[in-house]
Amino acid sequence: MIQKWVLKAIVQKAISFLPYSQRINYFFQKYVTKGVFLSDAYFEDRLEHARHHIGAWERLSDGAPLRSTLELGAGWYPVVPIAMFLYGAEEIRTADISLLTNAGHLRTTIRKFLEYTDQGKLEKYVHARPDRLEYLRGMATNTALHFDQLTQALQIQYLVQDARHLNLPDGSIDLVHSNNTFEHIYPEILSGILHEFRRVARPGGVQSHFIDLSDHFAHFDTSINIYHFLRFSPTAWARIDNSVQPLNRLRIPDYGRLYREAGLPITEELLRPGDIEALRRVRVHPIFQINTEAENAVSHGYFFSKME
């Protein structure tokens, strides 16, 4: 019997060769893998990222009010951008190579925020301004607003462009952040993005990035563990990997090197050590053996940067 991860890899590889591959992949995940609904688990995961990003801003910034934010990787549901709106940011930008969301997803996200507010659960993650919450509640009742009106009301601007070449002035962003995005970007492209982030982040500002270093096929197929993809050579992985949801397989030292090359400081790290015993059950390919077991085992991590 073919393993589930293999079937998913085959389907996504095939989709990657088709026109409108991202849209087709959306329908595949919506109706087959059931992975694009705004579940409580996904919502809380994104709220947790927002909490860490805002916490980094409050710890590391120069004390000025948070005015402008930039997110890499817009995704289907703008949970973190709306959290930034509720916190008080005035210029909220989210950049991606394609636009994945729509008015329906925006409304779903707004309703989820209000649901968590009414249940007293939102305050665990975000200290929302009361006036912004009331404004959000008013938006939820206005069903006539279309996508552009919703984003304008939320002070969110979608930048559908290559993040290596952003149409933003030097030093114009207070807080640059991302969630589960870096691992999907190949190193030669990520290098350019980090250099661009250094350009647009203002002195005294902050960067906060969360990286998932696990094999994402393991999220779908429990027969493999989160280090499974480390067993493949670069040639073998190139046959498995796809452009719909690519995985660069970089480890923590690789990200550290890319930061150094871009001139970005790593002021603080928050790393999950992972499971070395699970790692040892995988025959790790020699290209990863230049790292220590502890370095290869890190499963997730935040990099926080205080900009100078």
* Cα–Cα dist 187/248, whole Å: 7
Closest CA to 79 of 49, 35, 117, 115: 49
**Domain limits at 262?**
37-213+250-306
- Does residue 7 lie in a domain region? no
Tens digit of pLDDT at every position of the chain (308 positions): 789 898 888 888 887 877 766 666 665 565 555 556 799 999 999 999 999 999 999 999 999 999 999 999 988 999 999 999 999 999 999 999 989 899 999 999 999 999 999 999 999 999 999 999 999 999 998 888 999 999 999 999 999 999 999 999 999 999 999 999 999 999 999 999 999 999 999 999 999 999 999 999 999 899 999 999 999 999 999 999 999 899 999 999 999 999 999 999 999 999 999 999 999 999 999 999 999 999 999 999 999 999 99
Query: Rounded to whole angstroms, how far apart are CA atoms 11 and 24?
Result: 11
Give the span between the Cα atoms of 258 and 4, in whole angstroms: 33
Distance CA 286, CA 298 (A): 18
Domain-embedded: residue 97 = yes
**d(C-alpha 74, C-alpha 95), whole Å:** 6
Q: In what order do the strands lie in the sheet with 300-306?
A: 156-160, 91-96, 68-72, 173-179, 201-212, 300-306, 268-272
- Domains identified in the chain, total number: 1
| Distance in angstroms (rounded) separating the CA atoms of residues 302 and 242 | 25
Residues 6 or more apart whose Cβ sits within 8 Å of residue 21: 15, 243, 244
CB distance 101 to 68 below 8 Å: no
- For residue 267, CA distances in Å to 117, 258, 259, 260 come to 33, 15, 11, 12
Q: How many other CB atoms are there within 10 angstroms of residue 291's CB atom?
A: 17
CATH of the domain at 105: 3.40.50.150
Residue 22: inside a domain: no
Tokens of 27: 């329908």
Residues 6 or more apart in contact with residue 203 via CB below 8 angstroms:
171, 307, 308
Q: Is residue 228 part of a domain?
A: no
Task: State the CB neighbour count (10 A cutoff) for residue 186.
Answer: 13
Is 75 contained in some domain?
yes
pLDDT tens profile 116-159: 999 999 999 999 999 999 999 999 988 889 999 999 999 999 99
90 occurs within a structural domain: yes
Does some domain include residue 244? no
Helix (H, G, I), strand (E, B) or coil at 92: strand
Give the residues across from 157 on adjacent strands.
Answer: 93
| CB environment 94-122: b (16+ within 10 A), e (fewer) | bbbeeebbeeebbbbbbebbbebbeeeeb
Distance CA(62)–CA(140), nearest Å, equals 35
Q: For the CA atoms of the chain, what is the radius of gyration?
A: 20
Residue 147 lies in a domain: yes
Between CA 109 and CA 131 the distance in angstroms is 18
H-state helical runs in 181-251: 187-200, 217-220, 234-240
CA distances from 260 to 54, 190, 199 (A): 24, 13, 14
